[in-house]
Structures are given as structure tokens and as C-alpha cells.
Structure 1
């Protein structure tokens, strides 16, 4: 894993505002990344019981995005938008993550095709390494995300 000082998470992911759920990228290399998030005490998705564990899927996807952004910047390219396509075997040890809990999100690239399709093994841990959620997620990073979105939009009037 990279021992270089990492720049703020906003430099690695295209997410902004309330949709940026991660706090920081802790480490990255060619095959994996580790990010951190402290479950907020208020805000988007939060319930009285805490953050629903299904939001962990987005924590995982944003960590993959940070990994992709880190790799792009390392190669002198711009950070690109990507898409979460789906998951397999998402399992959570609890229904909610308690507010204030610091979570570590780990992603491992299992496959990344030249066509932008990828598969990642992901896990979320609490302080002390206790595993709270796991999943395998599929992602797609088109070569030009903005053009891809524009070309996929229905024509006006349809």
C-alpha cells in the first residue's frame, strides 16, 4: 500500500456535497484501497437507530471510486465518473451502523477489464477489525463518463 501522504478524498472521487460519504483515503495501491468514514450523527440516510447497513454498499462503491481516482492521478489522467452495477453476497452483521462509529472500508480489485468493467471484493470493519459487512461489487467506468451519460439520455420530447 502507498505510504505517500494522501490528498483529500475530494481529489479522488467525483462525488460532492451530501453524496460524498467517505472522510478520507487511508491507503491505495494498484490492487486495493482503504478508506475511512465516521458514521454521521445527522444527515442523509440516517435513522434514529443509526445508518442503515445497506448504505455500506455506497461506502464500498465510493472506496472503489477513490481507488480508481488514485490510479488515474498516478497515471497523469483525470478522475472519471463510474457506475455501481450491482453486488453479490452483500452480508451485514447488523442492521445499522451506530452514529459516531469509525468504519474502515477495504476494497480489493479482483478483475478490471479494458472495457471498464470491474469486480471488487469489499469489506467494512469497525475499530479493532471487527467485520461488519462484506460484498462483491461490479462496477463500470466508461472511458468518458460525461459523454456516456449524454449519449444514454433519452431525446427530448420522448
Structure 2
């Protein structure tokens, strides 16, 4: 199945879209790709610091939520990264020229929009599990109401 352009799946715009493309998705999984190059957001002489991996994971989760919304004929909505548990990176940076695959798997989703995903980043033709974490997210039904008064429903 052909995947939509990543910009249709995430509620980010411009340079804030850090993922290059979604490779595949299903009800509980998504795999996205990131190519590290000198013009990559947050790139330095040694590449992109591995600490940025948490944002790659969060955007892949957002892309999964966006893909699911499009499957239901709904609009892509904003969500929030609540935190991560045990983010571990085996490399200090993602080197220039490397290609990453960001895998997210939904392990928990509640009716009120709270979710948890097991995530990992593989370096293509390099290190599998270069980074991993459990990431918790929240996607309220009405983001404007939530931001105004903190109501979930």
C-alpha cells in the first residue's frame, strides 16, 4: 500500500517536520524514515545528536495517529508528548549520510486520548536498536478546549 506524504500525516509544518516519509503502517504500528544530511534540522558537524531521537519517535507516533485519522476519514489532530521512559541511545549522534528507520508500536490506548508506544530507531545498514524508549502521548478530542481549561473531554 502506498503511504501518504508525511506532511499529510503530522500536524507540523515547514522545517519542523523532521521525518522524511512514512514507509508502512497498520492499526498498531508505523515505520518512518529519516535521512541525516547537513541541512537536517539540528545537524552539526557530527550529524544529529541522538537526543533528537525522542522527537523522531514522537513525530512517528503523530504520523501513526494521522494515518489512522485519514483511514477513518477524519482530520489529523494535534497531540502532546507527555514523556518517555528509559530513552536509551547506543550512539552519541546519528551520523551525516545515515538513514534511520523509526518504528513505533502502540501498546496502550485509552478512551480519553492517553497512549503509550514502544519505539526504536534502527540505522539502515548499521546498528539495529540504535535508540529505544517507551513514549507516552496524549491526544485530546478538542485541543483548543483542552488548552483553554485543561478539560480532557
Secondary structure of 1:131's counterpart equals coil
Whole-angstrom distance in 1 between the partners of 2:50 and 2:81: 17
Alignment of 1:4-153 (within 5 A): 4-128=1-125, 130-151=128-149
Q: Is the 8 A contact 2:48 2:94 kept in 1?
A: yes
Cα offset for 1:43? 4.6
1:50-93 Cα offsets, whole Å, 9 max, x none, are 10101000000000000000001101111000000000010001
Cα offset for 1:45? 1.6
1:88-136 Cα offsets, whole Å, 9 max, x none, are 0100011110012110000000001000000000000011362210000
1:20-66 Cα offsets, whole Å, 9 max, x none, are 00000110110110000101313532222210101000000000000
Whole-angstrom distance in 2 between the partners of 1:146 and 1:26: 31
Aligned CA RMSD, in angstroms, stands at 1.3
Whole-angstrom distance in 2 between the partners of 1:60 and 1:71: 17
For structure 2, list consecutive stretches of 5 or more residues without a partner in the other structure.
none
Runs of 4+ in 1 over 3 A off after TM superposition: none
Whole-angstrom distance in 1 between the partners of 2:38 and 2:44: 9
Query: Which protein shows a greater Rg?
Result: 1
TM-score by length of 1: 0.89
